[in-house]
Amino acid sequence: MTQKAILTCAPTGAIHTPSMSPHLPVTADEIAEAAIAAAEAGASIIHLHARDEENGRPNQTPEAFLKFLPRIKQACNVVINITTGGAPQMTLAQRMSPAKELQPELASLNMGSMNFG
């Protein structure tokens, strides 16, 4: 009997920066290419974080997501899951801004503590 599975890929990670791995996609093109490659490899959900292209740090603005989301949506039929993560000092409104504005099929929201560091 064959069992079906739903594969999710998170190509950018959350708090990771380029100093942690040379393979971390940072630019909009790199994020789009990694997401499309994951979909082609069988992922049906892509969990995405946006990055500041100059320093690689997370960027939780809708504008940052808009640099790569249209390309991914045009190239493949995957469920887009954007983060509402952000940094511990961000307000809930700041964290929710991309999901509220961009209306992805899925958005994650950490309801507990975020213990970084």
Report pLDDT for 86.
67
- CB 89, CB 95: distance < 8 Å: no
| pLDDT tens-digit readout, 63-92 | 999 999 999 999 999 999 998 876 667 788
Report pLDDT for 16.
75
Element (H, E) at 43: none
- CB 7, CB 44: distance < 8 Å: yes
Average pLDDT, stretch 54-70? 92
* pTM for the full predicted model: 0.87
Amino acid letter for position 79: V
Using the Cα atoms of residue 92, residue 93, residue 97 and residue 101 in order, give the sign of their dihedral. Answer: positive
What does the angle CA 94 – CA 95 – CA 100 come to, to the nearest 5 degrees? 85
Q: If DSSP codes are grouped into helix, strand and coil, which group holds residue 6? A: coil
Q: Does 117 have pLDDT greater than 60?
A: no
| pLDDT tens-digit readout, 10-42 | 998 777 777 888 888 999 999 999 999 999 999
The tokens describing 77, both together, are 């039929």
- CB 108, CB 84: distance < 8 Å: yes
Rg value, the chain, Cα:
14
